[in-house]
Amino acid sequence: MEYVYAALLLHKLEKEVNEANVSSVVKASGAEVNEAQVKSLVAALADVNIDEAVKAAPVAVAAAAAPAADAAAEPTAKEKKKEEPKNEEAAMEGLSSLFG
Element spanning 60, H or E: helix 50-73
Query: Taking the model in full, what pTM does it have?
Result: 0.55
- Quote the pLDDT of residue 90: 66
User: Mean pLDDT per segment of 10 residues, for the chain of length 100 residues?
Assistant: 91 93 94 93 90 77 59 62 60 60
- Count of the separate structural domains present in the chain: 1
- CATH number of the domain to which 8 belongs: 1.10.10.1410
Domain presence at residue 100: no
Q: Determine the structural domain holding residue 9 and report its residue range.
A: 1-48
Local structure of residue 74 (DSSP, 8 states): S
Q: Measuring CA to CA, which residue among 30, 1, 34 is closest to residue 19?
A: 34
- Quote the pLDDT of residue 43: 92
Instruction: Tell me how crowded residue 17 is: count the other CB atoms within 10 A of its CB.
Output: 19
- Quote the pLDDT of residue 17: 93
Q: Measuring CA to CA, which residue among 13, 17, 21, 24 is closest to residue 43?
A: 17
Question: For residues 22 and 3, is the Cβ–Cβ distance under 8 A?
Answer: yes
